Amino acid sequence: MTAKTRALVVDDEAAILRFLKPALEANDYEMTSAGTVAEALKRIAADSPDVVLLDLGLPDGDGKDVIRRAREWSDVPIIVLSARERETEKIEALDLGADDYVNKPFSVGELMARMRTALRHRMQRKSEIPMLRVGGIEVDAVRHRVMRGGTEIKLTPKEFELLSFLARHAGRVVTHRQILTAVWGPAHTEDTQYLRVYIGQLRQKIEQEPDDPRLVLTEPGIGYRIADS
């Protein structure tokens, strides 16, 4: 019998837990829960869940404390379930190491898709897949080549590095700061206009319709998400 994927839901709202339990079980997840920062960290350490669904508003602290402290020793995928509207909250959670966020209220279908993406990324990180495929584009990390339908797309080294970073996080929001730090280094974390220029150049080369991008998507005020299909 195949073991079920274990999901830890960190939320102190009974209604959310009652809503999520049958939805997760129907999709072959085994759900456990925690209602505080302290309990969440204890369960992550003791139970080693496969994925964590995390509310930011907890009675003994901020959910971002869970991300900050868990990331010192765990790479478990963490998806924030956020009722907070401020972009700065989402950006901070992502910068601390959350894999994604889903706005409350959310649909079960969207949440399941985000969970599958986060779990797939974890497996890819562990296996270090040399070939990434997104939206009909093949990114060869070994040969530093990008192909579509057997035809090579010529990119500059920096454009390739940018696309590779986005492709490794396909389906996940990555913030301006995360991209700039990974591709250009810590000294360039505020150069968002510089990043926009490179995103524009990249879209001109890989999008079928650069003015109506379907692959490299903008998350206004936060960063970018590359389509995971």
Give tens-digit pLDDT for 157-172: 889 989 988 988 888 8
Average pLDDT over residues 37-46: 93
pLDDT at 128 over 60: no
Average pLDDT over residues 178-195: 86
Give the chain's mean pLDDT: 88
Q: Band the pLDDT of 34: cuts 50, 70, 90.
A: very high
Average pLDDT over residues 64-88: 87
Q: Band the pLDDT of 129: cuts 50, 70, 90.
A: low
Q: Band the pLDDT of 1: cuts 50, 70, 90.
A: very low
Name, in order, each residue with C-beta under 8 angstroms of 186's C-beta and a sequence gap of 6 or more: none
The residue with greater pLDDT, 160 or 132, is 160
The mean-pLDDT minimum among 97-111, 120-134, 209-223 falls in: 120-134
Q: Band the pLDDT of 74: cuts 50, 70, 90.
A: confident
Average pLDDT over residues 2-26: 91
pLDDT at 82 over 70: yes
Architecture of domain 129-226: Orthogonal Bundle (1.10)
Average pLDDT over residues 71-76: 85
Q: 5-126, what's its fold?
A: Rossmann fold (3.40.50)
Every domain of the chain and the residues it spans: 5-126, 129-226
Average pLDDT over residues 76-87: 85
